[in-house]
Amino acid sequence: MRRWFPNSEWVLLIALAFEIAVFSALGENFFSLGNFFEVVRLSVELGLLALALTPVIVTGGIDLSVGSMMGLAAVVFGAAWRDWRLPIPVAALAALVIGAIGGGMNALLIARWKIPAIIVTLGTFSLFRGIAEGITQGAVNYSGFPAGFLSLGQGHLWGVVPVQALIFALAFAGYAILLHRSAIGRTLYAIGFGESGARYAGIPVRRRLALVYLLSGLVSSCAAIIYVAHLGQAKSDAGTGYELAAITAVVLGGASVFGGRGTVWGTLFGLFSISVLQNGLRLAALPAEMTGVLTGAVLLVAIGLGQMRQKDAPAATLEETPVKNTQLAVLCATILVGSLIVAGTNAWLVHSIGAGASAPVASTTTSGHRPVVAMMPKAKGDPYFVSCRAGAEEAARDTGVELIWDGPTGLDPAKQNEVVEGWITRHVDAIAVSVENQAGISTVLRKARERGIKVVTWDADAAPDARDFFINQATPEGIGFALVDEAARLMGGKGEFAIVTGALSAANQNAWLVFIKQRLETKYPGMKLLTIRPSDDDRDKAFNETQTVMKVYPNVRLIMGISAPAVPGMAEAVRQSGRKDVFVMGLSLPNLNKKYVHDGVVQAVVLWNTRDLGYLTVYTAALLARGRLARGADSIEAGRLGKIEIRGDQVILGNPFIFNKQNIDQFDF
Amino acid sequence: MARWGRELSLVAVIAALSAVLAVTAPGFFTAANERDLAMASMPVLIVALGMTLIILTGQIDISVGSQFAIAGVLAGVLSKMGLPVALAAAGACLAGAAMGALNGALVAWARMPSIVVTLATMVALRDALRWVTQGAWVQDLPADFQWFGRSQRASELITAGSAALLAIAIAWSLDKVAAGRAVYATGSDANAARMAGINPSRVVFSVFTLTGALTGCAALFNAIRFNQIPANAGMGLELQAIAAVVVGGTAIAGGRGGIAGTLLGVVLLGMIGPALTFMGINAYWEKAIQGAIILVAVAVRRERNGS
Amino acid sequence: MNLLEASGIAKSYSGVRALKGVSFDLQAGEVHALVGENGAGKSTLIKIITGVVTPDSGTLSVAGEVVAQHDPATARSRGIAAVYQQPALFPDLTVAENIAFALESGGLWRTVNWKSRTRRAAELLERAGAAISPDRLAGSLSMPEQQIVEIAKAIGSGARILIFDEPTASLTDREVERLFRVIRDLRAQSAGIIYISHRLEEISALADRVTILRDGESVGTHAMAAVTRDDLIRMMVGREISAIFPKRDAPIGEVALETQALTCRTAGIRDVTLQLRAGEILGIAGLVGSGRTQLAETLFGVTPADGGEIRVRGEVVEIKSPADAICHRIGYVPEDRRRHGVVLDLPIAANVSLANLPVVCERGLVQRGREEALARGYVERLRIKAASIDDEAASLSGGNQQKVALARWLAIEPAVLILDEPTQGVDVGAKPEIHSFMVELAERGLAIIMISSELEEILGMSDRILVMRGGTIAGELPRSRATQQTILSLALGQAA
């Protein structure tokens, strides 16, 4: 027993079994094998990274570069396939080679040159991501992969099991054998317990360390390939933030950061406890931010309890003493709590929906059941979307629907898929998504439609067959043209200007840039675009960049910002520089810029009424959910907005709106 | 001479980069640009002062970015509640100190590894802030908030002066005050430190708390440059601070290094972005260059780290 | 006046009684020597006096005042300073600062004066007998240099009670003379000095009184002038020397290992030429710091040689790492058992197989059955006392850990086995077991090198004895001509 589960992980198995039993009893709508596997599907990429990190941490090291390597491998894969026209398997090989090279770099610096792993991988964390951004200029998004390849990440085996689950199972088996059965694995633990002691036993320490870091790079690139197949796109931002989640999973699973302790089972359970927690919170429609707070708390409690249980703890050192069983108890508790939340919410939902929860529920919406509309922004924290939410809630009140507002806290296409999956499980009546990644989300939206859920997209569209309607405030073309036209108006059609964008890899901003450049070419040859600087949606960074731009290009006449938080930063920079000859305009929220507009620093803010957009979206979704809207209609009555035009499958809000000194005070968002 | 070896090599690199800039983009060296660069580096600088201490004791803190965001928002909220800006400032620093103390207590007395503790607090604090603010910025601040209610010049002088004072005070304490030497001793050999009558736990707790307070300070100095406070400030701040400290020569294992190196590290890393812009190089390579500099800096010093 | 008085001090470590009620006193203006074999309890007593360890029972008083709460800081403030064999310096700080830490006290917020620190350090180093620059980083000092810094610390702290634990282990004659001068000066200033050493002639020259510890008890305290060296040895050992070691009669076979002018600069080994035959037990004696362990580590590849050659069964071989040594069937049971001999957190079975995993593996995968069989075999053969082979090595006593370490190397089926302090810290019952086992192995044809600081062990077990000094071989003694005196005189560099 102790051999299989040195840290008593068997307790967790029991907890999981209990959870599955509870859910099955509550009805398959809420927890079925199908949904379980979908959760698994979503965890595979992260799981692969966690697996790769386990032996690294067992040897007492760490690898912060795994997420960044995903990004680099993804773009190498995409470039190999699209630009160099290599067949998919060869492109995959190229990605794996890059993974090996990156892992090899870590191995050289850590194993051979004995530089502490934390700082080496901090450096490669920046380097790998940086190279990915550099070669794609952040913007390039490889997509359009053949269906056969995509089935690797989106397909099913035997109808239920996601393909990548199999890959994960293989990787898991491989690592289990490596770490727990093989001679090499034994030596890894010895190294973790004490490098010099391992040396004295004749273990080739440097070779072993090099191996684990090399493997880590390889597995990261493997995860990248699956990620690309899963989402249907390869971008430089793949895997952002995954390294921290992976480390959390490994440490929660009982591994000690100082080495010598950790098992693949523990890592798996650590991964599960995070997923279950997230899933539970999502199904219970609790705010996504709670995940972070709870995960942090669980991590602290788990490790803290493990520490305090050590009696005879030598007061002498500040080094950690190994973490053991109590941690696993906390893990169980987490899973149980997560399950109880889910179970409790589900029980409540069963009651509120009424009897016979086994069939899709569309038909019962007309009889006093309050439709549930689930709405997702691209990023919850973005002020733009926050203002949309206000309108959404207003419409929810006006139409009498229940509104769920959830989504990733930052741009994260993989997370969007997860959230939608959760809603499908919950069987909401309508889903409204502002799409970050068109290719990947369409699959899951189609699935929702198959289950009878109404789907609309808003702000950014998915594939046309994946949704019923698209609430369009303006096309990227419309936005790009509007921005350039307004800039041209201010500049008199000639002169030099600069653009401050959000993140280099943000899809919609890149789409606007395409049309901006196009408009410049066709209509305003006299205007010259000097440079495009990224601000990462950070006001302070936009401020710094603008200051620099004004120095580097003293003749700049206008700065255009296409990220909502950036414009006030740009404005402040221009104001502080005292240069009255530089115009500031861009796409932003009126409230953020009111003062600047009144002071004449910002001339124009281009947007549309985001509140109205949110309002219209929910209103449309509510109409759909109640069956009062179908394709073919050419207009709808949208509450306080009055009559809104429908063009085909697009519900058009209106044109981009220019906020300026004259009208900005009329708006409050 | 050998004592200042690593700082000298950094100076050499900065000089080389400056030489290239002098030739390709002399506009870099105008007084206005230098002033802007200096102000832009203030947050990282002040945080890096604390980070130096933490790394000297052999620990690490990746939660400073989240602390920065919270302290900034808190300062704004306090100011809106009617507190004079000085008190709001104190509130920000205290909040930072409290968050730092939480980290410190868990590392020093619960003896948890600092990478795990600060990973947990980083995630939890950032998400807690998002939850509370729901992404909304703090706006409509009273008039005496921006620039402390004075002129921009005066406020910038206050900021730069404070940063300089802090740097000097900390550098001096590290060199000349027993408490500062205790930091080095703890990082060099915690056991020997205990034998010498130092309480390593208290030292570790103190450096985390101090760093939290410094982060709160940095957040405040940054916030008063504007008239509204975003909900997502400080992203990536921890990486910048750690990079500056490590590039500046402080050993990640603890016991060696100092403020002088950190200052040079801040200068070098702060130069890269603007230098690229001045030289017309695309922004897309900035991250890769930063990563490369970190790696080169530690690789070149591996002989000193010993085999 | 009694500077220090300890009475009825007892201390046990996980069941092993290190001290059983020892009484000891130190007067002002005397050098009081403390002698005893390894494991007699000397270091435990010292740790109690310096506050590192709290006794289970007994009282300690300093200058007539009973000490209730004792810790290193309190010890320092009461004027107790110790110079250990293993200096505890801050490697990243300068010598001057290291010294300053021992000397200065006061609030956390006092300022430090570097100039005066450096000056003071230079003075003290001078007095301690060395010309070490105070600005050097402590990590860059050699072991003898570090010891001198420790001595400087002790002198400088103005301590009234100074403890020297094997201080001359790695010093040259001149340095030893200087140290003795320092100690005599201190004595003249009414300090009390506790002096621990294996070197009986040193003690004769220096000490006023001597206390002999044996098996955790004090055998007696005598005026130095009143005892002879033989008396001391007899009291330390408590039994006739010849009785404890197993009789040997092994046939000596082929040359299993030889070296020719073997040199390793980093380890401080130079020009070592030796021959080792199958069936032979070659003892290597010498004082601490003479290079015995370094020689072993060079032979084993931990610090690979950079000059000379090694031949295994007649063939020249290159040993650049422990893995190479294992390839040539050389095994090494290291001195630092807890760090290098066993992996404390691994179970016994895993420890035993660690150096020879292929033997329990099938296609790279560990076969539990085979591993367990291997471990059980050794547990039986070596009579290792453990509840199960899945127990972690940390749960075993010192003696049993040593047996596990031994088992690990026996598992590679070595031709040459190097044992470094094989019975150090091993309980009294296990010691003879290990000895008889060594004899058994030799009889089976193994060639054994045994490094030991216990002269009786060397004399009792070895067929031949090599004495090392200063990193090279000072002399060789066949069993018949070897005595404690002859060994010691070679070790000290004096004529026999």
pTM assigned to the model:
0.86
pLDDT of B307: 35
Which pair of tokens denotes residue A117?
A: 């792993």
Spatial CB neighbours of C367, under 8 Å, sequence gap ≥ 6: C360, C361
Residue B49 has pLDDT above 90, yes or no: yes
Decide: A130 and A69 in contact? Cβ < 8 Å: no
- Closest partner residue to C102 (CB to CB) among B177, B181, B196 is B196
Decide if A133 touches B, using CB distance below 8 A: yes
Please report how many Cα atoms fall inside a 13 Å half-sphere around the Cα of residue A564, on the Cβ side: 24
> What are the pLDDT digits (tens) for A373-413?
999 999 887 888 888 998 999 999 999 999 999 988 888 88
Tell me whether residues A203 and C323 touch, CB distance under 8 A: yes
Q: Is residue A173 within 8 angstroms of chain C, CB to CB?
A: no
Residues A388 and A533 in one domain: no
**Cα torsion angle, A550, A551, A552, A555, sign:** positive
| Whether residues A158 and A91 fall in one domain | yes
> Mean per-residue pLDDT for C324-342?
92
Inter-chain CB proximity B111 and A116 less than 8 Å: no
pLDDT at residue C32, as a whole number: 95
Least confident among A47-61, A330-344, C152-166, C366-380 = A330-344
Residue range(s) defining the domain that contains residue A618 = 362-474+611-657
Q: Are residues A463 and A422 in the same domain?
A: yes
Give the up-direction half-sphere exposure of residue C17: CA atoms within 13 A in the CB hemisphere. 11
Write the residue in A2, A183, A322 that is nearest to C357 by C-beta.
A183
Return the number of CB contacts < 8 Å for B and C.
Answer: 62
Collect all residues with Cβ–Cβ distance below 8 Å to C134 and sequence separation of at least 6: C94, C95, C96, C99, C117, C118, C121, C122, C125
Question: Which of A14-23, A37-46, A349-358, C368-377 holds the top average pLDDT?
Answer: C368-377
Domain boundaries in chain C?
2-242, 243-329+414-492, 346-412
Grouping H, G, I as helix, E, B as strand and the rest as coil, residue C259 is strand
Looking at residue A346, what is its pLDDT? 56
B111 touches chain A (CB under 8 A): yes
What confidence score (pLDDT) does residue A363 get?
Answer: 38
- Domain count along chain A: 4
Do A100 and A224 share a structural domain?
yes
Q: Which residues of C touch B186 (CB under 8 A)?
A: none
Mean pLDDT score of chain C, rounded to an integer? 86
Better-scored residue on pLDDT, C432 or B77: B77
- Claim to verify: residue A439 and residue A470 sit in the same structural domain: yes
Q: How far is A347 from chain B (nearest CA, A)?
A: 26
Taking the C-alpha atoms of residue A452 and residue A491, their distance in angstroms, rounded to an integer, is: 51
C345 at interface of A, judged by CB pairs closer than 8 A? yes
pLDDT at A322: 36
Domain assignment of residue A568, yes or no: yes
pLDDT surpasses 70 at A369? yes
The answer to whether C108 contacts chain B (CB < 8 Å) is: yes
CATH for B229: 1.10.3470
d(CA C359, CA C374): 9
Does the beta carbon of A254 lie under 8 angstroms from any beta carbon of chain B? no
Within this chain, domains C2-242 and C243-329+414-492 share the same CATH topology: yes
Q: Which residues pair with C316 in a beta bridge?
A: C311
Pick the residue from chain B with its C-alpha nearest to A545: B274
Distance from CA of C90 to the nearest CA of B (A): 6
Verify whether the Cβ–Cβ distance A200 to C322 is below 8 Å.
Answer: yes
Under an 8 A CB cutoff, do C93 and B184 touch? yes
Please tell me which of the candidates C76, C109, C114 has its beta carbon nearest to residue B178.
C109
Whether residues A440 and A565 share a domain: the answer is no
Chains that touch C (3 or more CB pairs under 8 A): A, B
Which of A196, A200, A211 to mutate: most C Cβ within 10 Å? A200
Model confidence pLDDT, tens digit, residues A245-276: 999 999 988 888 888 988 998 899 888 878 87
Give B297→chain C minimum CA distance, Å. 20
Query: Hey, what long-range contacts does A86-93 have (CB within 8 A, 24 or more apart)?
Result: A88/A145, A88/A146, A88/A148, A88/A149, A92/A225
On the question of pLDDT at A619 being above 50, the answer is yes
Residue B294 is nearest to which of A122, A299, A303, comparing CB atoms? Answer: A122
Do the domain assignments include residue A665? no
Residue B91 falls within a domain, yes or no? yes
Strands C281-286 and C464-469: parallel
Contact A548 B36 (CB under 8 A): yes
Residue C247 clears pLDDT 70, i.e. is over it: no
With respect to residue B307, please indicate whether it lies within any of the assigned structural domains. no
Measured from the Cβ of residue A11, the count of other Cβ atoms closer than 10 Å reads: 16
Chain B CB within 8 Å of residue A115 CB = yes
- Indicate whether A165 pLDDT > 50: yes
Name the residue range of residue B21's domain.
2-302
Confidence of residue B93 (pLDDT cuts 50, 70, 90): very high
> How far is it, in rounded angstroms, from Cα C283 to Cα C451?
6
Residue C93 near chain A (CB below 8 Å) = no
Our count of domains for chain B comes to 1
Across the interface, whether the CB atoms of C322 and A193 are under 8 A apart is answered: no
Q: Are residues A187 and A293 in the same domain?
A: no
Residues A450 and A410 in one domain: yes
Distance from CA of B45 to the nearest CA of C (A): 25
What stretch of H or E contains A164? helix A163-176
Cα A295 to Cα A245: distance, rounded to the nearest angstrom = 10
Q: What is the mean pLDDT of residues B196-211?
A: 93
Q: Is B228 on the interface with A (CB under 8 A)?
A: yes
CATH of C243-329+414-492, one of 3.40.50.300, 3.40.50.620, 3.40.190.10, 1.10.1060.10: 3.40.50.300
Q: Which of C326, C339, C390 sits opposite A197 (nearest CB)?
A: C339
Report the residue of A64, A119, A555, A563 to disrupt the B interface, i.e. the one with the largest count of B CBs within 10 Å. Answer: A119
How many helices (H) and strands (E) would you count in chain A? 23, 18
List, for residues A456-471, the tens digit of each pLDDT value: 999 888 888 899 999 9
Q: Would you say residue A114 lies in a domain? A: yes
Interface residue C26 vs chain A (CB under 8 A): no
> A3 contacts in C (CB within 8 Å)?
368, 390
> CA nearest B250: which of B59, B47, B101?
B59
Give the neighbours of chain B: at least 3 Cβ pairs within 8 Å.
A, C
At C148-192, the pLDDT tens digits run 888 888 888 878 899 988 777 666 777 778 788 888 988 888 889
Annotate A189-222 with DSSP letters as a single string. Answer: HHHHH-HHHHHHTT--HHHHHHHHHHHHHHHHHH
How is residue B177 annotated by DSSP?
B
C90, B184: Cβ pair inside 8 Å?
A: yes
Contact C325 A2 (CB under 8 A): no
Contact A199 C322 (CB under 8 A): yes
Same-domain check for residues A528 and A447: no
Residues of C in contact with A186 (CB under 8 A): 350, 353-354, 357, 366
- Among the partner residues C302, C332, C366, nearest to A181 by beta-carbon distance: C366
Q: Give B-chain residues touching C82 at CB under 8 angstroms.
A: none
Q: What is the pLDDT of residues B270-307, one digit of tens each?
A: 998 888 888 888 778 888 998 998 898 888 776 554 43
| A292 → closest Cβ in B111, B123, B246 | B123
* A236 within 8 A of A12, measured Cβ to Cβ: no
Q: Round to whole Å and give the CA distance between A68 and C232.
A: 69
Residues A204 and A61 in one domain: yes
State the smallest CA–CA distance between residue B178 and chain C in angstroms.
5
Is residue C137 classed as helix, strand or coil in its secondary structure? strand
Q: Which of A233, A224, A128 is nearest to A507 (CA)?
A: A233
Determine how many CB atoms are found less than 10 A away from the CB of residue A555: 11
Q: Which residue carries 């002062």 as its tokens?
A: B49
Tell whether B64 is covered by a domain.
Answer: yes
A197/chain C closest Cα distance in angstroms: 4
pLDDT for res A357 = 36
Neighbours, chain A (3 or more CB pairs < 8 A): B, C
pLDDT tens-digit map of C453-470: 877 788 888 999 999 988
CA–CA separation, A217 vs A63, rounded Å? 9
Domain C2-242, CATH class in plain words: alpha beta
The pair of three-digit structure tokens given for residue C198, joined into one six-digit string: 């294996």
Residue B258 lies in a domain: yes
My answer on whether A567 and A547 are in the same domain is yes
In a domain, B212, yes or no: yes
Distance between CA C194 and CA C212 in Å, rounded?
Answer: 12
Same domain, yes or no, for A397 and A349? no
- Predicted confidence band of residue A618 (pLDDT cuts 50, 70, 90): very high
